[in-house]
Amino acid sequence: MLKDITLGQYFPGDSLVHRLDPRTKLICVVLYIVALFTAKGFLAYGLVFLLLATAVKVSGVGAKALLRGMRPVLFILIFTGILNLFYTTTGTVLVKVGFLQITTGGLANAFFMVVRIMMLISGTFLMTYTTSPISLTDGLEMLLNPLKKLKVPVHDLAMMMSIALRFIPTLIEETDKIMSAQKARGADFESGSVIDKAKAMVPLMVPLFVSAFRRADELATAMECRCYHGGEGRTRLHQLHYTRNDWLVMGLFGVLVAAMFVLRRFSSF
Amino acid sequence: MDPILETKDLCCTYSIGTPFEHVALDHVNFQAYPGEYLGIIGHTGSGKSTLIQHLNGLLKPTGGQVLLHGKDIWADSKTTRQTRFKVGLVFQYPEYQLFEETVYKDIAFGPKNMKLDQDEIDRRVHQAAYFVGLTDDMLDKSPFELSGGQKRRVAIAGVIAMEPEVLILDEPTAGLDPQGREAILGNIQAFHDARNATIIVVSHSMEDMARLADRIVVINDGKIPLEGTPRQVFAQGDQLRDMGLNTPQLTQVFHRLREMGLPVDDSVYTMEEAKAALLALYRKGGQVC
Ligand SMILES: Nc1ncnc2c1ncn2[C@@H]1O[C@H](COP(=O)(O)OP(=O)(O)O)[C@@H](O)[C@H]1O
Ligand SMILES: [Mg+2]
């Protein structure tokens, strides 16, 4: 069913990771990515992996859910692995078949590339799994606040983003419902040629657009009734506060990045 | 009598394998008999809509079977598709599914999908419009110009036009004014009488169900704890209240009278019965406290 789409899906929970300030999580993801791209050698990757594994364990999300998110990029993973395996020519040659050869360097490169992409995806997914879309946009707005000085409409953009995110599940549910209602009248969305399928979309798209416009209209009215007039002078119900945990976690990721730079320079392991 | 539509140990679990896993139906054995008017009651989230979406094959059971005339509707894909036409389902707030340029075309959508010929489609559209009280000049209007109540009648006509053997309606009177409710219930009754079709109505109104239904099925928490004639069901006032439901107001009045010590039957649910019971009590000269 449409409901099973897990794109930026949020798994509610009450773990330490869930409770972190969204700004902390955004900053940490950036630091994490920097660390991942600086990392070189087993020790460095091991450290980053240790941190990721700890975060996953603490969050209670479960490695299975994270691995499931990996499925859409499986092809890219395999492709990257194979390219790196055959196109690196450093190190000693292990196997040689015709013009293809596998070297120790290629093996290492392929391994690190694939691990890096997997860890990159897991890290960012962990953030979206543990942060509700609304608090994510809140955090983003706060972090981008300095851009207001440059006349970037940060608040409006954030508001649009949170409304859009808020309505994705509603629209998916609505699509499901209208689809069922038309199927009950014998509509067939699955079989037939491409043209038949496109035609079959009309009974779905028309009601969907009508209701999306109606909803937008109602929402605008409801917001105006509550005196919404943009971000100016607007206070928040849920103020974002950094706690001690936030500073600790940010510090930890800061140390991680520093460690990566040091290892890159001084360790050959 | 054999049921026309029944479920055997029907189970439904939503979002299996995710943290949102939810058992909506738990070994439900449900029967609907030919020509009856069946009411389904239950509080919000009890699984009513889930059950009826299984009855015409919109949802595939995660366990158990759905049988139409004793045959599994999931036996092959052709049977499943035919079931959609034989068991007509009107969703809650069906007015949001209208999409055609004219009322006529919208009502014709179902019959067209049945691959009927033009004359037959035309006959069915007019007949369905007649059942729900739409006049001929309305057929050429855009459905988006109509009032809420009229839109809903167009949507119901769209299902009736398929001439289903079983017509299922999910809370057909939700959000309508009293006049609109009466009109819709009257339309359904007219279809029931004219076609001798089996009607299944999901409703929150105990009064309506008491008055209209031949039999009532109570759903609670994905199970059927109670079913029977309105009299049998409403006699279980305490059990219904435990499930967050109520008995009709008349039954409540008689329940209170009985609690106050008067010798009355507390399964009364129609006005005529109430009148007879009160008059009998009065003649007996039962003392009123
Ligand atoms: N598509 C769905 N995905 C997940 N859960 C659902 C879905 N539809 C309904 N449910 C859940 O199943 C239960 C029964 O829902 P429903 O059959 O709509 O109840 P009712 O019609 O009696 O109000 C509810 O708890 C509801 O939250
Ligand atoms: Mg419902």
Q: Same domain, yes or no, for B204 and B286? A: no
B87-90 and B166-170 strand pairing? parallel
The answer to whether residues B227 and B134 belong to one domain is: yes
B143 and B202, same domain (yes or no): yes
Closest-CA distance of chain A to residue B71, Å? 19
List, for residues A23-65, the tens digit of each pLDDT value: 999 999 999 999 999 998 889 999 999 999 999 999 988 888 8
Q: Which residues line ligand 1 (CB under 6 A)?
A: A 3; B 14-15, 22, 24, 42, 44-50
Does one domain contain both B163 and B274? Answer: no
A29: number of Cβ within 10 Å = 17
CA-B48 nearest atom, ligand 1: 22
Q: Ligand 1, atom 26: nearest CA belongs to which residue?
A: B45
Residues of A contacting chain B (CB within 8 angstroms):
3-4, 11-12, 177-178, 180-188, 202-203, 206-207, 210-211
Return per-residue pLDDT of chain B as tens, 289 residues: 899 999 999 999 998 877 788 999 999 999 999 999 999 999 999 999 999 999 999 999 999 999 999 999 999 989 999 999 999 999 999 999 999 999 999 999 999 999 999 999 999 999 999 999 999 899 999 999 999 899 999 999 999 999 999 999 999 999 899 999 999 999 999 999 999 999 999 998 998 999 999 999 999 999 999 999 999 999 888 899 999 898 888 888 888 888 888 888 877 888 888 898 888 888 877 555 4
Model confidence pLDDT, tens digit, residues A124-182: 989 988 998 888 888 988 999 899 889 888 888 888 888 887 788 888 889 999 999 99
The pLDDT, as a whole number, for residue A269 is: 60
Q: Please list every residue in chain B whose beta carbon sits closer than 8 Å to the beta carbon of residue A207.
A: 96-99
C-alpha distance from A269 to closest chain B C-alpha (Å) = 41
Do B78 and B24 share a structural domain?
Answer: yes
Q: Is B226 in contact with B238 (CB distance < 8 Å)?
A: no
Domains of chain B: total: 2
Q: Do A185 and B99 touch (CB under 8 A)?
A: no
pLDDT (mean) for A2-22: 75
Q: Do A185 and B144 touch (CB under 8 A)?
A: no
Strand partners, A158: none
Say yes or no to pLDDT of A2 above 70: no
Give dist(CA B213, CA B201) in Å, integer: 9
CATH of the domain at B212: 3.40.50.300
B175 lies in the same domain as B280:
no
The interface predicted TM-score (ipTM) is 0.88
Do B104 and B166 share a domain, yes or no? yes
Q: Provide the shortest C-alpha distance from residue A224 to chain B (in Å).
A: 25
CB B215 within 8 A of CB B233: no
What chain B residue is nearest to A182 in terms of C-alpha separation? Answer: B97
- Residues in A closer than 8 angstroms to B19, CB to CB, are 11-12
Structure tokens given for A112? 């690190």
Number of neighbouring beta carbons within 10 Å of residue A247? 12
What are the residues whose beta carbons fall under 8 Å from the beta carbon of B77, sequence distance 6 or more? none
- At A67, give phi and psi (nearest 5°): -65, -35
- Helix ranges restricted to H, chain A: 16-19, 22-38, 41-59, 63-69, 74-87, 104-130, 133-144, 154-184, 194-200, 202-225, 244-266
Output the CA torsion B265→B267→B269→B275 (10° steps): -10
C-alpha–C-alpha distance, residues A252 and B130, integer Å: 73
Specify the higher pLDDT residue, A194 or B188: B188
Q: Do residue B252 and residue B159 come from a single domain?
A: no
Write down the residue that tokens 């059942």 correspond to: B131
Q: Give the range of the structural domain holding residue B253, as residue numbers without chain letter.
A: 248-289
Query: Does residue B285 share a domain with residue B169?
Result: no
User: Does B229 lie in the same domain as B107?
Assistant: yes
The reply to whether B88 and B214 lie within a common domain is yes
- Ligand 1 geometric centre to CA of B50 (Å): 6
Let me know: does B170 contact B155? Beta carbons within 8 Å. no
Contact B91 A181 (CB under 8 A): yes
Pocket test for ligand 1, best of B18, B46, B218, B243 (most atoms within 8 A of CB): B46
Buried b / exposed e over A186-216, threshold 16 CB at 10 Å, is bbeeeeeeeeeeeebeebbebbbeebeeeee
Task: Report which of residues A50 and A99 the model is more confident about.
Answer: A50
Measured from the Cβ of residue A243, the count of other Cβ atoms closer than 10 Å reads 12
Nearest ligand, CA A172: 1
> How many interchain CB pairs under 8 A, A with B?
59
Q: What are the residues whose beta carbons fall under 8 Å from the beta carbon of B271, sequence distance 6 or more?
A: B250
Shortest-distance atom of ligand 1 to CA B44 = 23
Whether A184 and B96 lie within 8 Å, measured CB to CB: no
By alpha-carbon position, which residue is closest to atom 5 of ligand 1? Answer: B14
